[in-house]
């Protein structure tokens, strides 16, 4: 099976400048027969840059290819 993005939520909280080192952390918060849910956080030298969540839904292999015809 494949997966496709279903829901994305991002909150921007602070600056990140060119050349800043950023730490990106992603954590799986739930998995079931339909989807995978995750949380993400980005932290820079001045603190948290942003955070968000994402849900990916599972789809049959090739389902997206069939739609592009």
Across residues 9-14, what is the average pLDDT?
A: 96
Helix (H) or strand (E) run with residue 16 in it: none
For the whole model, what pTM was predicted?
0.75
Distances (CA, A) of 43 to 1, 30, 52, 53: 33, 23, 12, 15
The tens digit of pLDDT for each residue in 18-41 reads 999 999 999 999 999 999 999 999
Nearest one of 68, 69, 51, 53 to 13, comparing CA atoms: 51
pLDDT of residue 67: 62
The 10 Å Cβ neighbour count of residue 42 is 19
């Amino acid at each position: 099976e494949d997966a496709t993005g279903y829901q994305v939520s991002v909150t921007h909280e602070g600056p990140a400048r060119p050349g800043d080192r950023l730490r990106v952390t992603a954590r799986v918060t739930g998995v079931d027969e339909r989807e995978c849910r995750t949380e993400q956080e980005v932290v820079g030298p001045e603190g948290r840059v942003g955070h968000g969540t994402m849900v990916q839904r599972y789809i049959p292999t090739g389902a997206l290819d069939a739609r592009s015809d």
